[in-house]
Amino acid sequence: MDFFADPPGTKSEEADTFQAGLGGSSANICAGLGKFGAHTALVTSISDDAVGRYCVNQLKRYNVGTQYVTPIQGEYRTSLAVYESRIEDFQNVIYRNGAADFQVTQAQVDAVDFKAFGALVTAGTVFAADPSRSATFHAFDKARAAGMPIIFDVDYRPYSWPSAEVAADVLSRAGAASDIIVGNDEEFGFMAGGIDKGLAKARELAATTAKIVIYKMGEKGAITFADGQEFETGVYPVDALKPVGAGDSFMAGFLSGLATGQEVKDAVLRGSACAAITVSRPGCAPALPTPEDLEQFLATHPGPTPAL
């Protein structure tokens, strides 16, 4: 669940009003795909309370299947993010003490009908603790057995992990088991043992285990490795309202492009356009574009910056 200070520009500690919205990387990706008409379902655990039920209702609003969302009792809680619609001195306060989503089990994974879906998508946060870490690697095995591609958004959040060493080891294992890997320069550098080694790590994964690797560099664009080729793409400049939500929106735009038969480069640019739209609006899931939003944006925007 997200709370973002209203009106835009207001600092959290000075706000009289907060807007609420769906949040969380995997939920945002699902919501973005749902807006583009994809058939999606989220496998997670939520607290068995009003906040958990709010999130389920929001998922349904975005056409996300909730049949694999499991309410759990006890002291586990659905996570909360409190942030601002501003760039300068931006603040984002994350409450993940006793996070319910870390309690996903292998039994929940076994209940999924993998044959009903075309791909398994995960963000890196679920690997930060057990039982969700083991459950997600189990899901990788089930997806592989079902012939499904595994898509991994590295999404490294240091505050969720017991140590950087554990994170580097586990995320590297997940990357080596994935068909499509998306991460930024810092995340690939982290897995490689130094930011100066990140690009080489991305190139190595593309040459050995992954079919597509996208190495994002913020406002400098991205380098994509696919089918033995390497190409660079720029970004769509906008007046950003906030810095959050771009990565999730990129994933939704990119994956929906691939799913509809776009070439990899076109899908990457589609993801970049979706990210630009999202950072120019308040909220995360509410800010994700619809097909109509994307069409209007592309029709009126002068286009991406030149590749590096």
Q: How far is the C-alpha of 261 from the C-alpha of 10, rounded, in Å?
A: 42
At 102, list the tokens.
């870390």
Instruction: Provide the pLDDT for residue 193.
Output: 87
Q: What is the pLDDT of residue 307?
A: 78
Q: Write down the pLDDT at residue 101.
A: 97
* Token pair 């994700």: residue: 288
The phi and psi torsions of 202 (rounded to 5 degrees) equal -60, -45
Q: Is residue 201 within 8 Å of residue 193, measured between CB atoms? A: no
How far apart are alpha carbons 209 and 55 in whole angstroms?
Answer: 35
Domain ranges of the chain: 25-42+104-300
DSSP letters for 255-301: HHHHHTT--HHHHHHHHHHHHHHHHTSSSSGGGSPPHHHHHHHHHHS
pLDDT band for 32, please (50, 70, 90 cuts): very high
Average pLDDT of the residues in 44-72: 98
The CATH code of the domain at 25-42+104-300 is: 3.40.1190.20
pLDDT of residue 217: 95
Count of C-beta atoms within a 10 Å radius of residue 146: 14
At 40, the pLDDT band (50, 70, 90 cuts) reads very high
Question: What is the share, in percent, of the chain residues with pLDDT greater than 70?
Answer: 100
pLDDT, the chain, mean: 96
Inter-residue contact 248 to 216 (CB < 8 Å)? no
Quickly list DSSP for 189-254: HHHHTSGGGHHHHHHHHHHHT-SEEEEE-GGG-EEEEETTEEEEE-------S-SSSHHHHHHHHH
Q: What mean pLDDT is predicted for residues 69-98? A: 97
Residue 131 CA, chain-centre distance (Å), reads: 20
Confidence of residue 203 (pLDDT cuts 50, 70, 90): very high
Give yes or no for residue 308 having a pLDDT over 80.
Answer: no
Q: Report pLDDT for 49.
A: 98
193-202 confidence digits (pLDDT tens): 888 999 999 9
Strands 222-226 and 212-216: antiparallel
Region 125-140: mean pLDDT is: 97
What digits encode the pLDDT tens for the residues 235-268? 999 999 999 999 999 999 999 999 999 999 999 9
What is the predicted pLDDT for the residue at 24?
Answer: 95
Residue range 153-176, pLDDT digits in tens: 999 999 899 999 999 999 999 999
The predicted pLDDT at position 57 comes to 98
Which of the 8 DSSP states describes residue 112? S
In the chain, the amino acid numbered 180 is: I
Contact 37, 44 (CB under 8 A): no
- For the segment 14-18, the average pLDDT, to the nearest whole number, is 98
Q: Residue 142 has what pLDDT?
A: 97
**In the predicted model, is pLDDT for residue 1 greater than 80?**
yes
The rounded percent of the chain whose pLDDT value lies above 90 is 96
Per DSSP, the three-state class of 140 is helix
- In angstroms, the CA 112 to CA 70 distance is 12
For position 200, what pLDDT does the model report? 96
Per-residue model confidence (pLDDT) at position 195:
87
